[in-house]
């Protein structure tokens, strides 16, 4: 991916507050069998394709550091979204991918930020 993409995304994150609305180990509001493996929320004051804030996953590292993105396709909602990984290790990104791909009508790919 173009380095400008990662620079712009980092600037967007740096200028936004992160709101956690689904803490680690909490259940999905419509599917109590889905338990979030990491904190999940959004960037306040931003807008994603679904009209809500840009979604973020927070890992164990520096939560201000963009470490990748997750691209999802949701057949239930009939949309596609970009979710930002903040401070996620490769292992945490893999667990997030397994969590999202474990649902019946949603699939994702993880795109790690290239190392500079």
Locate tokens 């009939």: which residue?
78
Tokens of 99: 């969590």
CATH of the domain at 43: 3.90.80.10
Tokens of 112: 């790690």
Tens of pLDDT along 23-79? 999 998 888 988 999 999 999 999 998 889 999 999 999 999 999 999 999 998 899
Q: Which domain holds residue 42?
A: 3-112
- Domains in the chain, number: 1
Tens of pLDDT along 82-94? 999 999 999 999 9
Q: HSE (CB half, 13 Å, CA atoms) of 18?
A: 24
Locate tokens 């995304």: which residue?
9
pTM (predicted TM-score): 0.94
């Amino acid at each position: 991916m173009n380095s400008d993409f990662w620079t712009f995304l980092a600037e967007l994150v740096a200028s936004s507050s992160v709101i956690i609305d689904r803490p680690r180990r909490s259940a999905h509001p419509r599917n109590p069998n889905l338990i979030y493996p990491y904190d999940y929320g959004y960037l306040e004051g931003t807008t994603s394709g679904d009209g809500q804030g840009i979604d973020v996953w927070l890992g164990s590292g520096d939560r201000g550091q963009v470490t990748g993105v997750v691209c999802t396709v949701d057949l239930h909602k009939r949309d596609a979204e970009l979710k930002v990984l903040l401070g996620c290790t490769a292992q945490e990104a893999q667990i997030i991918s397994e969590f999202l791909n474990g649902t019946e009508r949603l699939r994702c790919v993880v795109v790690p930020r290239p190392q500079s």
